[in-house]
Amino acid sequence: MLDRFSIKVIRWPLSQCAALIDKTGVSANQVTLFGFVLGCMAFPSLIAEQYTLALVFIVLNRVCDGLDGALARIQGITDAGGFLDISLDFLFYSLIPFGFVLANPEQNAIAGAFLIFSFIGTGSSFLAFATMAGKRGIDNPVYKHKSLYYMSGLTEGTETIGCFITFCLFPQHFAIIAYLFGAACWFTTFTRIYSGFHTLHSDPLKHDKE
């Protein structure tokens, strides 16, 4: 829901940083991989209940996630780069709640499992519609210059990172935050399935059976 606004705020500083990085010869894919490694460092920090350190790694991962996209727009957007970026993003999103579960399994296990379960819904509906939209050549007028169709929803990247930051600032309340955000993710999933189905059903390909 908030991505369209946050993108406008961070676009200029990211593009300026990306222009400097481009001069060093670093590729967008290298930034993607480096950011994922930084994000993975949050995992042992969470298990050790070093939540401030974990927050640093989470923020660094998200900075790299913005930089690789800005750098790709300079060097050229590729399907391979987009595939790598979105795959590692979803792995990172699942890794963070799993870290909180291992930090305190007695209190966080069920809530963490529910949240990861909800991420399956948002992720699968997002990627499934992007695949079909690509077949039909449907472009998103809001999120231009992306390697795949970005389907909007109540919970997007900005909200997810806000949730992770809140986890780290208030780890004792992980369970209630996870339940609330998980419920919001399921609202996103159902609305995406509903709107996605009706969008595709109203404009079927010629070879569709329905």
Domain membership of residue 155 (yes or no) is: yes
Domain membership of residue 209 (yes or no) is: no
The CATH number given to whatever domain includes residue 183 is 1.20.120.1760
Domain membership of residue 188 (yes or no) is: yes
Domain membership of residue 208 (yes or no) is: no
Phi and psi at 147, nearest 5°, equal -75, -15
One pLDDT digit (tens) per residue for the chain, 210 residues = 676 777 778 888 999 999 999 999 999 999 999 999 999 999 999 999 999 999 999 999 999 999 999 999 999 989 999 999 999 999 999 999 999 999 999 999 999 999 999 999 999 998 888 888 877 777 664 445 555 566 677 888 899 999 999 999 999 999 999 999 999 999 999 999 998 888 888 765 544 544
Q: How far is it, in rounded angstroms, from Cα 156 to Cα 111?
A: 20
Check residue 145 and give its pLDDT.
52
Please enumerate in sequence order all residues whose Cβ is within 8 A of that of 15, keeping only pairs 6 or more positions apart, or say none: 70, 73, 74
Check residue 207 and give its pLDDT.
45
Question: What range does the domain containing 103 cover?
Answer: 3-202
Q: How far is it, in rounded angstroms, from Cα 67 to Cα 17?
A: 7
Check residue 206 and give its pLDDT.
45
Query: What is the tally of structural domains in the chain?
Result: 1
Check residue 203 and give its pLDDT.
64
Both tokens assigned to 35 = 């950011």
Domain membership of residue 85 (yes or no) is: yes
What is the 8-class DSSP label of residue 151? Answer: -
Check residue 150 and give its pLDDT.
62
Q: 99: closest CA among 52, 53, 42?
A: 42
pTM of the model: 0.85
210 to 23, 122, 175, 207: CA distances (angstroms)? 51, 25, 43, 9
Domain membership of residue 152 (yes or no) is: yes
Both tokens assigned to 206 = 């010629």
Q: How far is it, in rounded angstroms, from Cα 77 to Cα 7?
A: 17
Check residue 141 and give its pLDDT.
46
Q: How far is it, in rounded angstroms, from Cα 23 to Cα 119?
A: 37
